[in-house]
Structure 1
């Protein structure tokens, strides 16, 4: 489901007993987060809400405590792999939405009849669906990103036996990226001679998919000669080149580097 559709569904969500919305900055690289200050903010935010409900919505206190316990368990599960921020929406009906984001948010705690979506709506415009194309000699990786998250990964490996690109998806794509390209000297001349044809074929395939999935921009990542050559075969609204080699980075790290550039 796309993020836009998720937002539309959340706007229609209504809970008479109450709905808890939390925006929490958990970025461990931030100066004010070095000692796990997010835990204190979470504890204090939940405590203040409970005090408010106790004094003004006492009939909903049991529902809030049920949701609070559920939320605390969710954050305990996230401790070992914290993103930069977390959005958590939970209601007494048991429905929970968790967004782990690689972008910073302002800390907010709300208990309302409906989810509070102000920050999610704002970052939807700031971080739309985009595509990253990481180009190496025999391998090309594509990453679809939205809200700073990795949404989909594909890897294309040039098979010299049939002179065509072989596609890998998901875990297989990540494994190819982690291992790096396997450049073979005996194919070097053949590679250079046919590079234009191969790039043109693959660029058309990727661009078609990008338009279907609604990418608002494409980032070309790699060595200057490779990104410039590949760009020739793209006819896209917005293309940005980043002439760096990120082959030792995970997909998540690569997205962070590209969006911060």
Structure 2
């Protein structure tokens, strides 16, 4: 989902008369203590029923008919996708189908329903602020991994390793095997030699990869940059980058699952 595009499009919409815009933010987060036992299904059913009852009591037959058309389409989407729900669901809809947007998202929402002249965009704007396009750079001595995320979802990953024979960085292909200088078969002497070499060369090494990271940030429009790694390597890499780094998290997470890294960064 391109949130910037959706917000611009939705901000243009206004419906007068009985053909209102339906907005739904639904919390479906299974890790939320308040959602145990599929409580979101009850909240969804009650929210739709309350609007229908209100319109029945108001005796606005045309508006009621429009809402029922929207309700039918939204229920169809929910029932068809509920097994694949993540943390939240966002829906915008009108009876004439001029407006229809429905998506599963990886962020917890506050359950809310609206039936009004314009889409209710408050929560989407807040998500845009909290989870912008971000580059998360994991660094561990002679290895660097990039995780690109948007709206708390992983957009892509890349890894680089330092070729100790050429002192240059190369993009890694395939699963991580560990640095040959520090692998399981390395002797204490080899490790000591690598540590000494790292101490002597880390500034020069990170100065070589920093332009690649700056270029990636510019090309992919990163709005936030995070560096995650042990203090010496993460702080040195920050110094070598031209792009401003929003936060340094002093924690070695290179071998952690990407989803765990996002949890650490975004909470």
Q: TM-score, normalised by structure 1?
A: 0.79
- In the alignment, structure 2 segments of 5+ residues that lack a partner are none
Indicate how the Cα distance of structure 1 residues 5 and 51 shifts in structure 2: closer, same or farther if over 3 A, else same: same
The answer for the alignment partner of 1:228 in structure 2 is 235
The answer for the alignment partner of 1:88 in structure 2 is 91
The answer for the alignment partner of 1:208 in structure 2 is 215
1:128, 1:146 within 8 Å by CA — same for their partners in 2? yes
The answer for the alignment partner of 1:29 in structure 2 is 31
* Aligned pairs (5 A) from 1:132-151: 132-137=136-141, 139-150=143-154
- In the alignment, structure 1 segments of 5+ residues that lack a partner are 169-175
Rounded Cα–Cα distance in structure 1 between residues aligned with 2:135 and 2:94: 34
TM-aligned CA deviation for residue 37 of structure 1: 0.8
Q: TM-score, normalised by structure 2?
A: 0.77
Rounded Cα–Cα distance in structure 2 between residues aligned with 1:139 and 1:65: 56
Indicate how the Cα distance of structure 1 residues 250 and 77 shifts in structure 2: closer, same or farther if over 3 A, else same: farther
Q: Deviations over 1:60-88 (max 9, x none)?
A: 33433332233223333443343332222
Rounded Cα–Cα distance in structure 2 between residues aligned with 1:121 and 1:9: 13
> Aligned Cα RMSD in Å?
3.0
TM-aligned CA deviation for residue 39 of structure 1: 0.9
The answer for the alignment partner of 1:4 in structure 2 is 4
2:238, 2:245 within 8 Å by CA — same for their partners in 1? no
* Structure index of larger Rg: 2
Indicate how the Cα distance of structure 1 residues 79 and 180 shifts in structure 2: closer, same or farther if over 3 A, else same: farther
1:133, 1:220 within 8 Å by CA — same for their partners in 2? yes
Q: How many residues end up aligned between the 2 structures?
A: 249
The answer for the alignment partner of 1:252 in structure 2 is 259
1:24, 1:106 within 8 Å by CA — same for their partners in 2? yes
Which residue of 112, 115, 118 maps to 2:119? 115
2:28, 2:40 within 8 Å by CA — same for their partners in 1? yes
